[in-house]
């Protein structure tokens, strides 16, 4: 099921077909703040009122032209200005393929520098999301250089990749802020753990490295047992709550987000907005079979309404 949805995430033909159906869009709206920056800011402010921070994701990836990459950069800068004006407790998460990684890595790096410089002037931080393993080396290299020059960028390590322990240690040594995730892409044989149990075990191992030695790491998961393991680990090592944060995705495990914030942990939610939500939504479907049931239920409800 997971592989099937991750395969569909990259099929333009299926995308064009699926986008014709309202039920598909309605189901996606559970995971996406809305089409506009206004929608996203509204969600950030709601979260902030509950002492939950945000990180905005202007949806888009694998941009095909330099013009589209520059348009995305403009929006990312506008989003930062808006967060600043609203005094929102929120930063930015961006994907390098949105700002030109697959067109020209140098052009992409220049775009990232522009975005990070703008954030620095506003006293803010930029997180570079991690995409599929074809992007890992280029992403880490660009982040390392930008971090060395500006200091206010961090990135993501995926626990399902065999290489991640080595990458995590390298990033920790340089002081680069890391968000730890399990990994959301379809990977070829030989680069990633196949079994969930192995990914989970690697997650816990890397999490301990980051909590003990990392710079303000982000433990990004909705997995209750891993969150419990993190809480027990920090307690046993006397690691202060202020020195790390939990992160979750908008629309997933809101109960847990609130509980952690109420207990005094730093919590940040990842808030996607914009029109290009198809691949993001397909990855959310791939993660959890129950979401597919939800999608099918919406299809039948729509059919029933049409008949009524
Ligand atoms: C803040 C944040 C940023 C991320 N950034 C990246 C990134 O840059 N690169 C990347 O590859 N991946 C990223 N991810 C996605 C990540 O790799 C996982 O695919 C995703 O978090 C699901 O894994 P999990 O840790 O929640 O554990 P799982 O074992 O997948 O899930 C644990 C439990 O969480 C709940 N849950 C998980 N997913 C869903 C869902 N889609 N719908 C409903 N409930 C769900 C369920 O209750 C499930 O039992 C990010 C995740 C978060 C939280």
Q: How many domains does one find in the chain?
A: 1
Ligand 1 nearest-atom number relative to CA 291: 42
Q: Can you tell me the mean pLDDT for 87-113?
A: 98
pLDDT category of residue 306 using cuts at 50, 70 and 90? very low
CB-ligand 1 contact for 221 (6 Å cutoff): yes
User: What is the number of other CB atoms lying within 10 angstroms of the CB of residue 29?
Assistant: 13
Instruction: Let me know if 129 is a catalytic residue.
Output: yes
In sequence order, what DSSP letters do the residues of the chain get, joined into one string?
A: -HHHHHHHTT-HHHHHHHTT-HHHHHHHTTT---SSHHHHHHHHHHHHHTT-EEEEEE---S--SHHHHHHHHHHHHHHHHHHHHTT-SEEEEE-GGGGTTTT-HHHHHHHHHHHHHHHHHTT--EEE----GGGHHHHHHHHHHHHHHHS-EEEEEETTBTTHHHHHHHHHHHT--EEEE---S---TTTB-SSHHHHHHHHHHHHHHHHHHSSS-EEE---HHHHHHHHHHHHHTT--GGG-EEEEETTS-HHHHHHHHHTT--EEEEEEESS--HHHHHHHHHH-HHHHHHHHHHHHHHHHHHH-
Return the pLDDT at 4: 78
CB-ligand 1 contact for 130 (6 Å cutoff): yes
Mean pLDDT of the chain: 92
Nearest CA to ligand 1 atom 38: 287
- Which residues span the domain enclosing 116? 32-276
Return the pLDDT at 286: 84
Q: Can you tell me the mean pLDDT for 191-195?
A: 95
| 10 within domain boundaries | no
Å from CA of 287 to ligand 1 middle: 7
Percent of the chain scoring above 70 in pLDDT: 93
| 26 within domain boundaries | no
Return the pLDDT at 252: 93
Q: Is the pLDDT of residue 308 over 60?
A: no
CB-ligand 1 contact for 292 (6 Å cutoff): no
CATH number of the CATH domain containing 112: 3.20.20.220
pTM of the model: 0.93
Q: Can you tell me the mean pLDDT for 285-299?
A: 73
CB-ligand 1 contact for 268 (6 Å cutoff): no
Å from CA of 272 to ligand 1 middle: 14
Q: Which pLDDT tens digit goes with each residue over 223-254? A: 999 999 999 999 999 999 999 999 999 999 99
| 184 within domain boundaries | yes
Compute φ and ψ for 248, nearest 5 degrees: -140, 165
Å from CA of 74 to ligand 1 middle: 28
Report the distance separating Cα 279 and Cα 132, nearest Å: 13
| 122 within domain boundaries | yes
Nearest CA to ligand 1 atom 34: 222
Nearest to 49 by CA among 82, 89, 91: 89
Q: Which pLDDT tens digit goes with each residue over 13-25? A: 666 667 767 777 7
Residues forming beta bridges with residue 270, ordered by sequence position: 55, 249
Return the pLDDT at 23: 73
Nearest CA to ligand 1 atom 50: 181
CB-ligand 1 contact for 158 (6 Å cutoff): yes
Å from CA of 277 to ligand 1 middle: 16
CB-ligand 1 contact for 223 (6 Å cutoff): yes
């Amino acid at each position: 099921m997971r592989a099937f949805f991750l395969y569909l995430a990259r099929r333009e033909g299926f995308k064009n077909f699926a986008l014709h159906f309202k039920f598909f869009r309605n189901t996606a709206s559970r995971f996406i703040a809305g089409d506009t920056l206004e929608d996203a800011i509204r969600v950030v402010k709601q979260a902030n009122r509950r002492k939950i921070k945000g990180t905005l994701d202007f949806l888009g990836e694998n941009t095909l032209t330099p013009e589209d990459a520059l348009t995305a950069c403009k929006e990312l800068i506008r989003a930062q200005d808006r967060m600043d004006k609203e005094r929102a407790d929120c930063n930015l998460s961006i994907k390098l393929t949105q700002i030109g990684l697959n067109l020209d890595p140098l052009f992409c790096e220049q775009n990232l520098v522009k975005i990070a410089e703008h954030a620095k002037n506003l006293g803010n931080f930029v997180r570079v999301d991690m995409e599929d393993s074809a992007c890992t080396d280029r992403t880490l290299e660009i982040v390392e250089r930008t971090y060395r020059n500006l200091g206010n960028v961090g990135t993501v390590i995926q626990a399902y990749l065999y290489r991640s322990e080595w990458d995590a240690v390298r990033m920790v040594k340089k002081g680069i802020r890391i968000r730890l995730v399990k990994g959301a892409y379809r990977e070829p044989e030989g680069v990633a753990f196949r079994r969930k149990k192995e990914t989970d075990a690697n997650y816990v191992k890397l999490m301990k490295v980051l909590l003990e030695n990392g710079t303000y790491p982000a433990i990004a998961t909705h997995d209750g047992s891993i969150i419990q393991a993190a809480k027990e680990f920090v307690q046993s090592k006397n690691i202060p709550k202020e020195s790390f944060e939990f992160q979750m995705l908008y629309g997933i495990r809101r109960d847990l987000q609130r509980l952690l914030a109420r207990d005094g942990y730093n919590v940040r939610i990842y808030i996607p907005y914009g029109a290009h939500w198809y691949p993001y939504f397909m990855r959310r479907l791939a993660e959890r079979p129950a979401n597919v049931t939800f999608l099918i239920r919406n299809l039948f409800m729509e059919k029933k309404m049409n008949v009524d």
